[in-house]
Each structure stands twice: as C-alpha cells, then as structure tokens.
Amino acid sequence: MDKRQDLKSILPYLPLLVRESTLFWPSKVVEALKSMAKGPEHSRVNSGEMLSVAICDIRSSVSLLEPLAPFALNGYALFFDDELIGALLACSFFCLFPVTNRGSNHLPTINFDELFASLYESYSENQENKIKCIVHYFERISSSMPVGSVSFERKVLPLDHHPLFISYPDADAWSKSVIPLCPFEAHSLGLMEDHSTDSLQVDFANKYIGGGALRRGCVQEEIHFMINPELIAGMLFLPSMADNEAIDIVGAERFSDYNGYASSFRFSGDHVDKRNVDVFGRRKIRIIAIDALCWPGMKQYELKYLLRETNKALCGFIDQSNFGQYEKLFPDGGLYEANDEDNMPRNKFLLQEGSSTAIETNEDKSVNPMLRNSDPKSSQFRNHKGFPGIVTGNWGCGAFGGDPELKAIIQWLAASQALRPLMSYYTFGVEALENVGQVTQWILSHEWTVGDLWNMMVEYSSQRLKGETSVGFFTWLLP
C-alpha cells in the first residue's frame, strides 16, 4: 500500500489512518458512524445543515486540516435534504473510503433495518423496493468483502479538428460517411442487463448522471443504479454532461435481480455476478452513460438536433482506448469520402481494409461485399476483441419523449460509425418497433452505408417538419 500513489493523494482528505501499511478507522470516527447509523433521533443529524456539522466534526477529530472543495458542504446538505440520505451516506463511506478489511473490528456494525426504517414509511412501493436493493447491497458487502474495482471515465468528442477521424462530425461529414452499417439484432423479449456476452450497455442517462436514482425516479437509468449500487458513487464527483460528453463506467458488479419498471419495479432477490474480470480486477461489463434530449417534440426532427443526438451517441460508442487501432486503419482520417477525386481511391481502399467490424453470419449477408475479399487486416479487425458490441434499447424515449424509430436509427448510425461489430436492440414491447428487425435487415440487404441511412433520415425529418408526412420513419422508408 505504501507504493499506491492514488491512495497517498486522497488519504489526507479521508477520516482514516495508516497503521503498519493498513488503513485503519479511528475510534472517534467509528463512534460517529455508529451514532449516525442509529438514525436521526439518536444522532440528531436530521437535516443537511446538521450533516455538514457532523462531517466537519469527524474531520476535526482526526486532525484533517485540508479544506474541502468549494461548496462541498452545500452539496452534502443538498443530498441530505433532497435525496435518500441512507443510500448516500452508505455509498460515501463504503464506496469512496478504501478499507482493507471490511469484516474487522475497524468497521462499525450497522443495523441496516434501523438505518432505513424511517425511509420505508414515507415512500411508495417501488421506492421501498429501491431501498431494498441498497440494503441488500450493504448486507452483501458487509458479510463478504467485494474485490476488484470500478472505473469512471469522462469521454469527450472534440468540437474542433482532431488529428484522428473522431473530431465532432458535422452534417456534411455524416452524409458522406462510407462506413458499412453494422449488423442489427432485435430482441422483443428480455432485459438489456441480462445480455450474456461481453458488450457495452447503454445507460439512458440524465444530463446529471444517475438522474432520480436517489429520489423517486425508477426507469432505466435508476434501475441500473439500484442493481449496481456502486454506480451511485459517480453521482458524487461527476458533474453534468455537455453535448459532446459521455461517461464510461467499467466493472460495476450487479448485486440484485428485479422485475417490473417504473411504478411496477420490484426487488426480486440476490444476484451473483459471474462475469470474468480484466487485468485491473474489474468485471467485464461496460456501461456508457449518454443523455438524450428531454421532451424535444417536433424539434427533434431539426437537423441540428439530429446532429446533437447522433454525435452524443457516437461519443459514447467510440472506443477511446483503441485510438492506435483507428489510426493504423485510417491514417488519413479516411472514414469519410474525400471531396478530392484524386484521393477517393485511397480512402475507399482504406475502408475496404478495415472499416467494417461486422460479424459475418452463415448467410454472409451482413458484410459489405467490398470487404469480403479485402486485405487480411480487415478480417482481423472485424474480430478485434477490443471492440465489443452495443447493447441498447429505447434511449431518449419513454420518460424523455423521443421518437423510438428515430432514436433506434440514430444509435445504429453511431454504432456503425464507431466500428462496433454488432448492435443488440431491446424493444421492451414498444409497438412502433415491432418490425424493427425486418426494417434493418431490408436496409442491410441493400448494403447501405452510414451516409446513405443518414441522408434518408434527414430527408424524412425534413418532410415531417414540413407536414408532408405524418407516418413513422419505417413506414415512410419501406417501399
């Protein structure tokens, strides 16, 4: 532990001591936590202001002189007064404060029933089930110390020119993209969280990550945060996302099973996460948080908003750890058609070498014929293990009010442009998407590129804005 630079950098801010290379909870801190664990009537921590006082007292008891970040105490008050304080306090101490031996006498024994008892009385049934997920998580980690780690990374798609192809694409760039569309796999049944293969799962995020996870929200993102409670830690240090940002989360372990959605959400028992771990000890699960437009109405068909949503998804789906691989395949940034006809053959050749990450089916219909006979590098890239597929669903729809057909196409465009090998789409029974599998297979059979589909989507949206059509995109598109 003495060599851990990350711990050395944060220890001055934590109510922990180091004894014989072991992190140790001082007795004064333990007593303070025990008091708070017994509830507001015992600890008198019954408001955000009193929570701030308690935290300052804890810091003073172990001579923590370093100042907290500006407005930190206001933040504690906000979380206490407006959020589920029990969940927040528990996640703060258990997730952010490193403890080497959770089962030792250094850690206070917390009666979770007492901690959450007052909350059960004031929340609806689905909120009570959210609290059950949190309680279950802390019961699990108190009896058996979790291993490994979880990482959070902010991803930014540059707004200006970038030496690689990943600069923020404008409408002209999307319209000229000659990347083949990746295979599209539709699922009318099942849950994204139960997807069996290594993949990147999309979190239909709020601009402020976590959304209503610690309040009364209980849709896709909030459910993610309940069954993977360590995600809640990200709410403490990740501010809101800009239009060109996404948040990549690796290694979040799942602890709970559930059924239902929104008001019907119910905790249904323990879940043992059997996913393998990577070299950093993280579970092989990636969650990408991207926020969609909220209740956009007709403006979602305007070009600038189509561009905003598609670039937001692209920011999330790009694998930034593989920039070297992209650079080898596209040394000239040749993901788009060149305006200079002299450069066209080279760009086309580069695309033939490696732009498709398609998984070839038995019928071999999903792969652009230009790529079937291409350089061996293309075949190797299609099977590249660093590019897992996308698992998603009705992002930006439901509570956010987006057009489900449009949002499915937008995500498909972004997944293809990001060179993902596959997009698995869960429709959750939305009627408008009943034939999404047939529509996407029809498109693939015509070997459209990203640019082809983008242009069709823009044309449809223009007609929709002008009142020239009122039908859904799929009906409009198919002959």
Beta bridge partners, 247, equal: 154, 289
Whether residue 13 is predicted with pLDDT greater than 80 in this model: the reply is no
Predicted pLDDT at 121: 55
- Closest Cα to residue 92, out of 147, 15, 152? 15
Predicted pLDDT at 378: 39
98 burial level (CB within 10 Å; 0-12, 13-18, 19+): middle
Determine the straight-line distance between the first and last CA of the chain, rounded to whole angstroms.
65
75: number of Cβ within 10 Å: 15
> Token match 């936590």: residue?
33
Instruction: Write out pLDDT tens, residues 372-416.
Output: 333 433 343 344 445 799 999 999 999 899 999 999 999 999 999
Predicted pLDDT at 380: 37
- Phi then psi dihedrals of residue 292, to 5 deg: -100, 170
Mapping DSSP to helix (H, G, I), strand (E, B) and coil, where does residue 22 land?
A: strand
Contact 23, 100 (CB under 8 A): yes
Predicted pLDDT at 33: 81
Hey, what are 61's tokens? Answer: 């008891």
Multiple choice CATH, 152-477, 2.120.10.30, 3.40.220.10, 3.40.50.720, 3.20.20.80 = 3.40.220.10
129-158 average pLDDT score:
84
Helix H or strand E encompassing 151: strand 151-156
DSSP line for 50-112:
HHHHHHHHHHHHTT--SPPPTTHHHHHHHHHHHS-HHHHHHHIIIIIS--S-TTSTTS----H
Confidence of residue 168 (pLDDT cuts 50, 70, 90): confident
Residues in the chain: 479
51-78 average pLDDT score:
76
Beta bridge partners, 155, equal: 246
User: 5-14, 184-193, 335-344 — which is least confidently predicted?
Assistant: 335-344
pTM of the model: 0.72
- Closest Cα to residue 116, out of 104, 134, 93? 134
Predicted pLDDT at 22: 76
209-225 average pLDDT score:
89
Sequence spans of domains, the chain: 5-122, 152-477
User: 83-92, 112-121, 341-350, 426-435 — which is least confidently predicted?
Assistant: 341-350
**Percent above pLDDT 90 for the chain:** 42
Confidence of residue 371 (pLDDT cuts 50, 70, 90): very low
User: 334-343, 344-353, 427-436 — which is least confidently predicted?
Assistant: 344-353
158-172 average pLDDT score:
71
Contact 316, 285 (CB under 8 A): no
Averaged pLDDT of the chain: 78
Confidence of residue 346 (pLDDT cuts 50, 70, 90): very low
Hey, what are 95's tokens? Answer: 């997730």
Q: Give, as one character, the DSSP assignment of residue 123.
A: S
